[in-house]
């Protein structure tokens, strides 16, 4: 697959998968308020730069989470990326207590945002998002 690395930081990697027309986002380590907001801003910039409406977001390597991140993502960021053209998001997560908390909040809280589905493997996420 032809990929272009857009962001390469210790806590965030964003790649454009050109052939498939989606972004692959990998979050790593501790996610403080600053890191979540800065990372989300970088995802927005990548969406605008590429024009891609699909995102595969891998959170399996997240170790800690800013307490209010789920609320901020649901109330601000998801509606914002929807306005920017984001339509489909596949989230890859493990069945750990941290990831269950993160995902449950996303799924219950999104009102005006992209269609969201949760997966345990990258292959499953790719197969689903490829249909759009």
Q: What pLDDT, on a 0 to 100 scale, did the predictor assign at position 103?
A: 66
Q: Residue 46: which of 61, 57, 62, 30 has the closest Cα?
A: 57
Q: Give the 3-state secondary structure of residue 67.
A: coil
pLDDT, tens digit, for every residue of 99-117?
Answer: 666 666 555 555 566 788 8
Q: What pLDDT, on a 0 to 100 scale, did the predictor assign at position 117?
A: 86
Domains of the chain: 3-89+103-129 (3.30.750.24)
Residue owning tokens 């024009």 = 51
pLDDT, tens digit, for every residue of 59-93?
Answer: 999 888 787 887 888 888 988 999 999 999 999 98
User: Would the pTM of this model clear 0.75, i.e. be above it?
Assistant: yes
CB-CB contact of 55 with 20 (8 Å): no
CB-CB contact of 74 with 107 (8 Å): no
């Amino acid at each position: 697959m032809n990929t272009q690395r857009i962001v390469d930081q210790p806590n965030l990697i964003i790649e454009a998968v050109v052939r498939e027309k989606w972004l692959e986002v990998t979050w790593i380590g501790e996610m403080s308020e600053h890191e979540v907001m800065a990372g989300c801003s970088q995802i927005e910039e990548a969406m605008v730069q590429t024009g891609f409406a699909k995102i595969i977001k891998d959170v399996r390597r997240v170790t800690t989470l800013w307490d209010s991140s789920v609320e901020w993502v649901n109330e601000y960021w998801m509606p914002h990326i929807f306005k920017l053209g984001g339509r489909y998001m596949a989230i890859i997560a493990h069945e750990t207590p941290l990831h269950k908390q993160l995902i449950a909040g996303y799924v219950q809280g999104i009102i005006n945002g992209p269609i969201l589905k949760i997966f345990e493997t990258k292959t499953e996420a790719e197969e689903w998002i490829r249909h759009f």
